[in-house]
Chain A
Amino acid sequence: EAQVTQNPRYLITVTGKKLTVTCSQNMNHEYMSWYRQDPGLGLRQIYYSMNVEVTDKGDVPEGYKVSRKEKRNFPLILESPSPNQTSLYFCASSFSGGTSTDTQYFGPGTRLTVL
């Protein structure tokens, strides 16, 4: 089954304790992206990757890091989480071929609470 998986689905942590949220896709997609969803704000892009070893900032990258060492994986790293990073996080992937209308497929989300 074609899918985007995220782990963990739920996480409660404390300020300053480094954490990683994993994202993996099995569709051989080149493009991957992280979004955060906050009430009343919709989804905002954090980072994206056009392919292996190619990453760039989205709209709200502060406090986050990413890496793309393998095509299928795109982990989101919070080196020193703060309460304002409490949010619902989504990973997405798509082909990045010639068409701009390639559908982005979303993972199930990771609900993060930083105390």
Chain B
Amino acid sequence: AQSVTQLGSHVSVSEGALVLLRCNYSSSVPPYLFWYVQYPNQGLQLLLKYTSAATLVKGINGFEAEFKKSETSFHLTKPSAHMSDAAEYFCAVRVDTGRRALTFGSGTRLQVQP
């Protein structure tokens, strides 16, 4: 079975600072990895996904993530935080089964200080 661990339930950065949200996964088979963002009172929006085509994945809003198999990690980064980035971020993993269920981490709430 696969699982996802997000280190840090809350992360606070200053506007303009680097954003780093950590995600580690465990999976016995090659995983598909996703980052979703949830703004207050809204559903989940896909930021980016790893599909094995490239280890560095670029997403929307300037975010990117790097798949590191040796570290079983898929950390999300953004060079310069913006106030509008304040939201909750979820890392998710899916293995290639019929159920297609996404296994989510517990989420990281990002605060951006002015």
Contact = CB atoms under 8 A, between A and B. Distances in A.
Nearest to B49: A101
Contacts of B100: 31, 33, 48, 94, 96, 100, 104
Contacts, number: 62
A58 B46 contact: no
Interface residues of B, number: 25
Given A42-B90, A42-B106, A101 B51 contact: yes
Query: What does DSSP make chain A's interface, helix, strand, loop or mixed?
Result: strand
Contact of A40 (B9, B44, B51): B9
Contacts of B106: 40-42
Interface of B: 4, 9, 32, 36, 41-46, 49, 51, 90, 92, 94, 96, 98-102, 104-107
